[in-house]
Amino acid sequence: MEKKWNVLILCIEFKFDEALDAYSEAIYMNVPPTKKAVYYCNRAQVSIKTENYALALFDATDAIKCDPTNFKAYYRLGSANLALNKFDLAIQNFKIVCKMQPNNKDARSKYEETLKEHRLRQFQSCLGYNDTRVQINVEDIVVEDSYDGPRFEKSVNEINSEWVKQMMQY
């Protein structure tokens, strides 16, 4: 029990690497499959927090293999698929959670939002819509010699509070 609280504290303190190690250690212990599913599910959540969605997919899938009734595993699988723009799979995952937990407002909301976004993207695809965004590299911008305000010479990393104050005064 004490170990469990230690892992929760690690997550609260954003010590995700240590939490991942603790859940990995717990997974390799000799515990019943339903308990192992909880560890996989929790490790999937830590992976989602650290934006390691591929690992989250594996862990959530393993959690479902250990315990097909673990609705949180399906929710985390849906969250990871959504983050990877796998809308079809995310919709299926959230739909399963909604069937398992009909009163789960958060899962219902995620399902509806994902379905709405998926339909929008399908519609845009039919219209030939291409969402290309302009990428601007600040360091490539040429500043004319006549400009006499604050400058940064090497990189954007030179911007600090003092530089911003100078810019505001200028």
Q: Alpha carbon of 80 to those of 1, 59, 99, 104, 149: distances in Å?
A: 28, 10, 19, 19, 46
Q: Which amino acid is at 65?
A: K
* Whole-model pTM over 0.85: no
User: For the domain 2-127, what is the CATH superfamily, name and number?
Assistant: Tetratricopeptide repeat domain (1.25.40.10)
Would you give the DSSP letter of residue 146? T
Q: Is the pLDDT of residue 61 over 70?
A: yes
Task: Quote the distance between the C-alpha of residue 169 and its chain's center.
Answer: 39
pLDDT in tens, 2-58: 444 455 544 544 566 777 777 777 777 788 888 889 888 988 988 898 888 999 999
What's the rounded Cα separation, in Å, for the pair 156 and 30? Answer: 52
Residue ranges per structural domain of the chain? 2-127
What's the rounded Cα separation, in Å, for the pair 169 and 117? Answer: 44
Q: Residues 50, 18: contact at Cβ < 8 Å?
A: no
Is the pLDDT higher at 91 or at 144? 91
pLDDT in tens, 107-122: 999 999 999 999 988 8
